[in-house]
Amino acid sequence: MPSMARIPLEDNFTDVIRKAQRGRKIPDKVLATQTGLDPAELAAVKAGKVDDTALRRLARHLRLGPNALESLAHNRWYPEQSAFPRGFMMFNTPYEDMFVNSYLVWDTKTKRAAAFDTGATCEPMLTEIESAGLKLQYIFLTHTHRDHIADLARLAAATGAEVWASEREPSDHPGAKTFKENAHFHIGELAIKTLFTWGHSPGMTTYFVTGLSWPLAVVGDAIFAGSMGGSATHFIDQYQNNYSKILTLPRDTVLACGHGPLTTLAQEKKHNPFFAP
């Protein structure tokens, strides 16, 4: 993967606190009482004040890892990046007030490739496909939120690739196909398995890819480096799917997230407040 500017973490510690509090449906008044914090102290932390004592109290009651939450608040951690000498590329494109990721994997012998989402624009991906002489066979959607598939029509038209999405969240792209959980696809020596990690969206899918330098999980908005995708209504489902289907993958699995930098499963188990002890 070519070098690129350091991509900021998608969420800061206040985002993590808000997602956990909203997902577990704990009002401010109740959370303040549970933690013994004055309502003004709680409001200050949620506004960005780094108070280690308050953070650790909040972590215990929101079922977050206190050390990981404190580390995130002090900006002490950034994920080490795993190198892929060949067969993998990440694209980070601006969409309104944020950046969104899309990914390309390919078999170096056959030059057959698969894309995961399109991001805001597929232009950089199309440039790589042409320059590397690749044949895009599949376009896999992690989910159908607009920022992740903004350029789907152009990518599909330019490459003739098949569009696939979860049966829980079909794409409205003409001719798009759906798969069940644990579906298997192959591109040369690469194997791709579908895992339903829904919650952030009805059909959020993680794609587990083997045959590259490292095991790879394209997780969409299921997990971010140091955080996870939020949901006002299905947070517990999202958490449980993440825990049972992503956190059980090999520890050296690289997580290719929908926003923010790449990370690894081993690092998230230690540094992600939602999953760290």
Four-residue CA torsion sign, 29, 34, 37, 41: negative
Query: In this structure, what token pair is assigned to residue 49?
Result: 């004040």
CA distance 60 to 41: 16
Assign 3-class secondary structure to 41-57. HHHHHHCCCCCHHHHHH
What is the value of pTM for the model shown? 0.96
Q: How many residues does the chain have?
A: 277
Q: Which CATH class is domain 13-73?
A: mainly alpha
Query: In this structure, what token pair is assigned to residue 121?
Result: 């624009």
Tell me the pLDDT of the chain (277 aa) as tens digits. Answer: 444 579 999 999 999 999 999 999 999 999 999 999 999 999 999 999 999 999 999 999 999 999 999 999 999 999 999 999 999 999 999 999 999 999 999 999 999 999 999 999 999 999 999 999 999 999 999 999 999 999 999 999 999 999 999 999 999 999 999 999 999 999 999 999 999 999 999 999 999 999 999 999 999 999 999 999 989 899 999 999 999 999 999 999 999 999 999 999 999 999 999 999 9
Domain with CATH 1.10.260.40 in the chain: 13-73
Tell me which architecture the domain covering 88-271 has in CATH: 4-Layer Sandwich (3.60)
Domain with CATH 3.60.15.10 in the chain: 88-271
Beta-carbon contacts of residue 63 (< 8 Å; ≥ 6 apart)? 20, 24
